[in-house]
A and B are shown apart, each in its own frame.
Chain A
Amino acid sequence: MTERPGPPIAMLAELTHRCPLSCSYCSNPLELTARERELPTDVWARVFREAADLGVLQLHLSGGEPASRRDLQDLVKAARDANLYVNLITSGIGLTPARLDALEAAGLDHVQLSLQAIDAEKADWIGGYSGGFARKLSFAGEVRQRGIPLTVNAVMHRHTIDDIDAAIAFAADLGARRIEVACVQFYGWALANRAALLPSRDQVTRAKSAVAAARRAYAGRMTIDFVPPDYYADYPKACMGGWGSTGLNIAPDGTALPCHAAATIPGLRFDRVTDRSLAEIWYDGAAFNAFRGHEWMQEPCRSCARRDRDHGGCRCQAMALASDPHAADPVCHHSAARSIVDHIISEQTAASPPFIYRSHKHQ
């Protein structure tokens, strides 16, 4: 047994998998959860209280599109009553001014607005929803007018990363205090669409210098967080800050996951918030303990000097690329499976294959 972990700081509540958009880069699983299986309002409210008791400070309301839940304002209120900081992660579609009023009254702290692209034609093509961009713009205007703190999440991949300067300017014009320029990571639908999404090495290099220049230009006005695609890195990212160490995800049906893709790892046993308390799940749940500490590690991670820094990288990526959730993350250049990543990069074609849009067809 490893030593007892500290309490989690953040919880991501995937309120629903329903969403009016169907982005090819969506990190939701291929098997989307149907509406009938979503947790009801009162169970979420209890889970929020249990989370606060456990030590969670930040609550991210996500999905799918959280606005697809008609009880969203009640959920925000319940979370604020539990003393959590409430962040809404949204595409902005489906939130009328009246609903936004209600969310504000319920105590919503912050909005993270996704940006598929900076013009309507491209954004609607990427999101697979005609008219979506126009609705997003009017939502953004409402957020701005109310002074609700805003972070723009500009989603970067081979079709958008060259527009990075315009995306940053777009966020600044909206009055955002922060922009997250996040390259797509390959889980769920994004993994199925990898060939259509992975940017080239040159694109990433240019984006990095654009971010450096923009950080100087917007200093004191807007902070810029950049998440590069880890396929081009020498070392993996410390996924979730370490498995079961800082945060947890709750799927729409109440399954508690150490990260949003954890269900792709075979053999893990996941608890549901309807069966056990969040504290029991966090401290004693089998899935949360599966990759804590160092015992589970193989070489080269086990004796690596960086093992407490990146925790061997992402378990789901090790599963997806090396078919072994205990292996080093294959993006690591010490990994025997790094050749798999290099091969994927070398297979990039000049023309992008078409998107496979997110849908319920797998059900």
Chain B
Amino acid sequence: MNADPVPLLPRGTRLHHDRVRDTMVLLVPERALLLDEIGTAILQEVDGKSTLAAISARLAERYGAPEPDVAADIRAFLDGLVAQRLVDYQ
């Protein structure tokens, strides 16, 4: 697998603001995943153009955290969604 893939939300996966519960959710086939602040921040950077490294750099800077740690967290989070076919790497 590509070491620095570009993640993208495939058709059928949508980031959505749930106004009733006042939280962000990932709408996917037949389910809704409630997102915490970090999950939301990651998925908002998933634009189908940025590589994982680029996303990691942006979030590390925004949160003032060490980039290797941020990259590892992002990778683990997105790998979990990729395994469920809710996010694609290209």
Contacts and interface: CB of A to CB of B under 8 A. Distances in A.
Interface of A: 7, 9, 53-55, 57-58, 60, 83, 85, 87, 109-110, 112, 147-149, 151, 177-178, 219-223
Contacts of A222: 85
Contact of A7 (B11, B20, B30): B20
A151 B29 contact: yes
Contacts of A148: 11-12
Interface string B65-90: 00000000000000000111100000
- Top 6 A-B pairs, shortest CB-CB distance: A149-B12, A55-B20, A177-B85, A85-B27, A57-B32, A110-B29
Nearest to B82: A220
Contacts of B29: 87, 109-110, 112, 149, 151, 177-178
Interface of B: 10-12, 14, 16, 18, 20-21, 25, 27, 29-32, 82-85
**Most chain A CB atoms below 10 A, which of B25, B29, B84:** B29
17 contacts: A7-B20, A9-B32, A53-B20, A55-B20, A57-B18, A57-B25, A58-B32, A60-B30, A85-B27, A87-B30, A109-B14, A148-B12, A149-B10, A151-B29, A151-B30, A219-B83, A223-B84
A85 B18 contact: no
B30 A147 contact: no
Contact of A55 (B12, B21, B31): B21
Contacts of B11: 147-149
**Most chain B CB atoms below 10 A, which of A53, A177, A222, A223:** A177
A240 to B, nearest CB: 14
Contacts of A178: 29, 85
A220 B82 CA distance: 7
Contacts of A57: 16, 18, 25, 27, 32
Nearest to A7: B20
A149 B88 CA distance: 13
Contact of A58 (B10, B27, B83): B27
A177 B31 CA distance: 14
Nearest to B79: A220
Contacts of A55: 18, 20-21
Contacts of A60: 30
